[in-house]
């Protein structure tokens, strides 16, 4: 065998191995391994430090697709079998820390965030790596840990005895998307309200396309976690509430950004049921919410626009959809490297448009596409998106990822959601 032939065969083998999936039962149990770490740094540096390991009672993810094919997220977890060094699990995700890095505060100080990742619980020793994506779309390792499943320091205690409710049952968790709805700011006397609200939000999801077509691929459960006080924090108004998940408006000093830094409590409560996705429902009529890919989504319960906010934020949390607006108070000038194609499926710099939705654009539609009436409802490449006014393009003139529109995801966003549903439910 000559050297050139060897290189071709080796390259083909590596490409095939990255796409190949692993046999779940060879490597994993049907529980989850949760790794907690402290994520810290400033606007240009970051580091992660080990905090604790937990064994959660359920693994709700696919048993077939263990290697992430999408390459979404600012971070990814990579799990290797320690003996063979084979990649046996990977998943992309986002973080509150990365969003904080884009703020002015990050240029003035360093800060730490409590964060978690999960993977199926291993049968044998594994090597876990967390990698961070830079603006050049290159990953570098920020954390690594060897985990022996027999380690007696792996915590296995149950965190609370919460009542759980099945709002939609479609099948076994590994064949479905498992959404858990957990409350914040609902007191014991307001649990009936939470049940009604959780049911209403479930209905919101499945009257939105394309989720409506795949309702039979979802399970939805709610966990009745009681807060001591009703509502949530509104710092600018000096309103502070003692709630179980410690949510707050004015995250990063943005009034409508309703989030929590307490991911530890979020994961503890969510682990009461099998889950893939987390929705935190906050007992408030104030407009707000948030969503981070494979992290959590948040929405206030009683605002007139809550249906829009929920489906919009769940687009971030579930399918890694980017915001398509660019003229608000969160606009940035240098959020993306315009010489690199962003990973989000619904925005492009046109650097690698072929990898996005170019095949969905009519040949008569110019690219870039002028924002004219004749192209209303057409798929193209309209300038402005991802918080950036110039050099980043979105698929249509308007969409639920751009404006306060209920059930108006454009065809490109719908396809991204649909692809995610189908991939995760095999």
> Quick one: 200 and 138 in the same domain?
no
pLDDT digits (tens, 9 = 90+) for 253-279: 999 999 999 999 999 999 999 999 999
The chain-wide mean pLDDT, for the chain, equals 94
pLDDT at 339 over 50: yes
* Domain tally, the chain: 2
pLDDT digits (tens, 9 = 90+) for 81-91: 999 999 999 99
Question: Residue 336's pLDDT is what?
Answer: 84
> Quick one: 72 and 195 in the same domain?
no
Kindly indicate the confidence band of residue 378, based on its pLDDT and cuts at 50, 70 and 90.
very high
Which pair of structure tokens corresponds to residue 111?
Answer: 């800060």
Pick the last residue of a domain from 261, 284, 319.
319
* H/E run at residue 200: helix 191-206
Is residue 390 domain-resident? no
CA atoms within 13 A on the CB side of 244: 26
Q: How far apart are CA 247 and CA 197, in angstroms?
A: 17
- 3-state class of 411 per DSSP? helix
pLDDT digits (tens, 9 = 90+) for 29-87: 999 999 999 999 999 999 999 999 999 999 999 999 999 999 999 999 999 999 999 99
Is residue 416 domain-resident? no
Q: Judge whether 242 and 294 are in contact, CB under 8 Å.
A: no
> Quick one: 176 and 139 in the same domain?
no
CATH of the domain at 89: 2.60.40.3250
Provide mean pLDDT across the span 294-314. Answer: 98
> Quick one: 123 and 173 in the same domain?
no
> Quick one: 110 and 170 in the same domain?
no
Is residue 413 domain-resident? no
Bridge partners for 40 per DSSP: 47, 112
Provide mean pLDDT across the span 285-306. Answer: 98
> Quick one: 112 and 168 in the same domain?
no
pLDDT at 309 over 50: yes
Kindly indicate the confidence band of residue 193, based on its pLDDT and cuts at 50, 70 and 90.
very high
Cβ neighbourhood burial of 339 (10 Å; 0-12, 13-18, 19+)? exposed
> Quick one: 24 and 142 in the same domain?
yes
- 3-state class of 214 per DSSP? helix
Is residue 324 domain-resident? no
Q: How far apart are CA 64 and CA 83, in angstroms?
A: 22
Q: Judge whether 40 and 111 are in contact, CB under 8 Å.
A: yes
Question: Residue 160's pLDDT is what?
Answer: 83
pLDDT at 11 over 50: no
Q: How far apart are CA 40 and CA 106, in angstroms?
A: 11
Q: What is the DSSP letter of 44?
A: S
Is residue 264 domain-resident? yes
CATH of the domain at 189: 3.40.390.10
Provide mean pLDDT across the span 133-147. Answer: 97
Q: Judge whether 154 and 195 are in contact, CB under 8 Å.
A: no
> Quick one: 94 and 190 in the same domain?
no
> Quick one: 142 and 193 in the same domain?
no
Pick the last residue of a domain from 299, 319, 339.
319
pLDDT digits (tens, 9 = 90+) for 155-183: 998 888 999 999 999 999 999 999 999 99
> Quick one: 78 and 210 in the same domain?
no
46-56 and 75-81 strand pairing: unpaired
pLDDT at 303 over 90: yes
> Quick one: 24 and 101 in the same domain?
yes
Question: Is 122 or 16 the better-scoring residue by pLDDT?
Answer: 122
> Please, what sign has the CA dihedral across residues 377, 381, 384, 385?
positive
Minimal CA–CA distance to 163: which of 216, 110, 222, 215?
222
Q: Which domain holds residue 228?
A: 163-319
Q: Judge whether 336 and 399 are in contact, CB under 8 Å.
A: no
Question: Residue 329's pLDDT is what?
Answer: 57
Q: How far apart are CA 414 and CA 400, in angstroms?
A: 10
Question: Residue 306's pLDDT is what?
Answer: 98
Is residue 423 domain-resident? no
> Quick one: 127 and 256 in the same domain?
no
Q: Judge whether 110 and 100 are in contact, CB under 8 Å.
A: no
pLDDT at 5 over 70: no
Pick the last residue of a domain from 267, 287, 319.
319
pLDDT at 14 over 90: no
With b meaning 16 or more CB within 10 Å and e meaning fewer, what string describes 249-281?
bbbbebebbbbbbbbbbbbbbbbbbbbbbbbbb
Is residue 42 domain-resident? yes
pLDDT at 331 over 50: no
Is residue 277 domain-resident? yes
Q: How far apart are CA 396 and CA 361, in angstroms?
A: 10
Kindly indicate the confidence band of residue 334, based on its pLDDT and cuts at 50, 70 and 90.
low
């Amino acid at each position: 065998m000559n050297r050139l032939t060897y290189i071709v065969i080796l390259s083909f083998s590596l490409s095939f191995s990255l796409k190949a999936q692993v046999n779940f039962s060879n490597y994993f149990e049907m529980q989850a391994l949760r790794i907690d770490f402290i994520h810290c740094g400033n606007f240009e540096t970051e580091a992660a430090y080990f905090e604790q390991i937990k064994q959660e009672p359920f693994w709700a993810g696919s048993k077939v697709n263990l290697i992430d094919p999408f390459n979404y997220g600012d971070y990814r977890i990579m799990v290797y079998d320690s003996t063979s060094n084979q990649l046996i699990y990977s998943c992309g995700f986002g973080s509150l820390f990365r969003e904080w890095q884009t703020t002015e505060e990050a240029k003035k100080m360093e800060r730490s965030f409590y964060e978690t990742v999960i993977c199926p619980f291993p049968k044998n020793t594994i090597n876990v790596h967390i990698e961070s994506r830079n603006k050049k779309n290159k990953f570098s390792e920020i954390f690594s840990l060897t985990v022996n499943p027999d380690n007696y320091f792996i915590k296995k205690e149950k965190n609370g005895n919460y009542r759980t409710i099945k709002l939609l049952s479609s099948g076994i968790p590994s064949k479905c998307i498992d959404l858990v709805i957990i409350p914040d700011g609902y007191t014991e006397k307001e649990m009936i309200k939470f049940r009604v609200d959780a049911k209403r939000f479930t209905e919101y999801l499945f009257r939105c396309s394309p989720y409506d077509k795949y309702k039979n691929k979802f399970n939805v459960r709610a966990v009745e976690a009681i807060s001591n006080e009703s509502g949530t924090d509104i710092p600018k108004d000096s309103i502070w509430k003692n709630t179980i998940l410690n949510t707050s408006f004015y995250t990063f000093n943005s009034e409508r950004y309703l989030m929590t830094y307490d991911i530890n409590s979020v994961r503890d409560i969510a682990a009461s049921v099998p889950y893939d996705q987390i929705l935190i429902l906050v007992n408030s009529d104030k407009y707000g919410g948030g969503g981070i890919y494979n992290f959590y989504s948040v929405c206030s319960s009683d605002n007139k626009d809550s249906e829009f906010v929920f489906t919009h934020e769940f687009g971030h949390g579930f399918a890694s959809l980017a915001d398509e607006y660019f003229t608000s108070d969160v606009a940035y000038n240098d959020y993306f490297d315009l010489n690199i194609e962003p990973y989000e499926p619904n925005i492009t710099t046109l650097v690698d448009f072929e990898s996005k939705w170019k095949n969905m654009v009519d040949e008569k539609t110019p690219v870039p596409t002028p924002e004219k009436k004749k192209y209303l409802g057409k798929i193209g490449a309209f300038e402005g998106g991802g918080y950036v006014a110039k050099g980043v393009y979105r698929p249509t003139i308007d969409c639920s990822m751009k404006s306060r529109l209920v059930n108006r995801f454009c065809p490109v966003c719908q396809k991204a959601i649909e692809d995610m549903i189908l991939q995760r439910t095999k």
